[in-house]
Chains A and B, each alone.
Chain A
Amino acid sequence: MFYFTDSLRSLSASMRNVFRKPTTVEFPEVRRDRPERFRASFALLHDEAGDEMCIGCKACERICPSEIITVELVKKESPITGKKRAYASEFVLDTNACIYCELCVQVCPADAIVMVKLAEEPKFNRQGLVLTMERLYENEKLRPLSWANATRLVEMQSPGPASAVTVAEDK
């Protein structure tokens, strides 16, 4: 029965929020900072000498629950060291079906694949979201890398008496 007085209280509660700073920002002109571990897309890395780190071992292809990674192995001479080693001749990662579970990052024995903090831009067709090897190597420079790679994840999760590595210590 006390609709009026109750309604006045609701009105005051909503008016109070008019004078608070809005929570939303004008995306995409304004972008918020993402935390260190944010997972949004992928990149393949080169090592310090400039050689591709991926050895084409297909560990990521086997672990992926969505089966979106396709890797082909080839053995060839390295352009940097001159020695013959395993490479990936083809690496396709289809982000259309990716569930961003980070398992491929964790299993990589070479620390080659990492996630990046900036997502792929929306495209008008599905092919635009399929990351080829070229785009994955481009993402290394185009997008900020996430904190996690295989070594760090394994260190964080390994059983042992010491407590796990945190981000601050790693810096």
Chain B
Amino acid sequence: MEMMKHGVKGRQRANPYLNLETYDPEADLMVLNLGPQHPSTHGVFRLKLYLDGEIIVKVVPFVGYLHRGVEKLCEKLTMVQLVPIVDKNDYVSPMMNEQSLVMAFENLLGVEVPRRARYLRTLLAELQRIASHLLWFGAFAMDLGGALGGGSTLFMYCFRERELILDLFEELTGCRFHYNTHVIGGNRHDVPAGWAPKVHAAINTIEARLSEYHTFLTSNDIYIERTRGIGVVDGPLAMELGITGPVLRAAGIDHDLRRDAPYHCYDEIDVRVATETAGDCEARAKVRLKEIRESIRIVRDLIDGIPEGSLNSRKPIKTPLAEKATDGHAYAALESPRGELGVYVIGGGTNKGASPYRLKIRSPSLHVLACLPYILPGHSVSDAVAVLGSVDPIMGEVDR
């Protein structure tokens, strides 16, 4: 109890099940609801804070405000119809959702994907990672500095760069967002003529602007003081809660599915995994910025060498009952910008096996949100917002 009164700092873990009656009879605890409608909870998310003055004593997160019954819908629609539906889970990096789903179906059906499609999927995944991290960075700056202030300036810059990548996707698939470009067995859209020079131009611009962001924000003492030592997630806590992705790597644990369990064409690429040891908000930001640079390097290596061949090993979809699986189960996971995004599918549902019997999506943001009751107590309300921004939850995939 003494520890709570003086605040939990550093790598100590708070007690998320703190009994408030025994906390301090003289403290006048105030309950503040951060959300569900709030300018900066990254979606509809309710965080019930028990405050002693401005210091947080206990945190109770509530999820489920964005539950749309996606997994139930997956039992009704057939496998070929599902790709545009799961696009909307992690609505910031749709390529990852599509790819994890079709990978699971391909494992279930035993379908092999041609090399051209796998190569293209790798390329699109890395471009999507750059776009997603840019969006995160802008939103993080907004959490720190406010929608009317320096944070929104950086937000606009990040979106300006992100539009370059979205323009590339628009040329390839026709949609800036929620592309529906993956199918079981390959991809639906092929590379248009003249795409490669545009990709080069886009990533060159983004790389140049990253150093501007450093001048603007990440080397600024105000930012460093707001993020250093705040919201420390240490390795054991992350492992206990199943946290993956940049949050885990910032805690010092070197784990990245692209290198440790390669899929697509990642076994041919040497992915340099970025890690930090501090585990605080600044470390998570640094990991993500390093990941942008690494993705830029990978895209630059890949874009000029797209192999010849067909884009799909199955015939194009002409009816919803094109793919059927009467039994079996499969799991496929990939490294989304937030962590391990996995899909577990059990075949043999309705429509004579064209629908899955059960589809479970393992979303990384849900596990990351579980760490909040352990790391927030002892900080103030401003820190709560900064920490929530730095762990990058996307409520679409938390609630599905």
Contact = CB atoms under 8 A, between A and B. Distances in A.
Indicate the size class of the contact surface on chain B: 35 or more
A115 B320 contact: no
Contacts of A25: none
Interface stretch (B26-34, B81-89, B330-338, B357-365): B81-89
B318 A99 contact: no
Given A10-B216, A103-B180, A159-B315, A17 B157 contact: yes
A156 B189 contact: yes
Interface string B273-298: 00000000000000000000000000
A102 B315 CA distance: 16
Nearest to B194: A168
A160 interface: yes
A37 interface: yes
Interface string B147-173: 000100100010010010001001111
A146 interface: yes
Given A38-B174, A65-B77, A65-B84, A157 B312 contact: yes
Interface string A137-149: 0000000001110
A74 interface: no
Contact of B310 (A12, A64, A164): A164
A146 B216 CA distance: 41
B163 A156 contact: no
Interface stretch (A1-9, A46-54, A121-129): A1-9
B318 A65 contact: no
A10 B174 contact: no
B193 interface: yes
A14 B153 contact: yes
A160 B83 CA distance: 23
Given A39-B175, A62-B319, A65-B77, A7 B193 contact: no
Contacts of A95: none
B314 A167 contact: no
A107 interface: yes
Given A2-B221, A99-B87, A154-B316, 18 more contacts: A6-B222, A9-B216, A10-B220, A35-B192, A37-B171, A39-B174, A63-B80, A63-B317, A64-B81, A99-B85, A99-B88, A101-B84, A101-B180, A103-B84, A153-B316, A159-B114, A159-B186, A163-B311
10 contacts: A13-B215, A23-B160, A36-B192, A59-B319, A62-B319, A65-B85, A156-B188, A162-B310, A163-B116, A165-B190
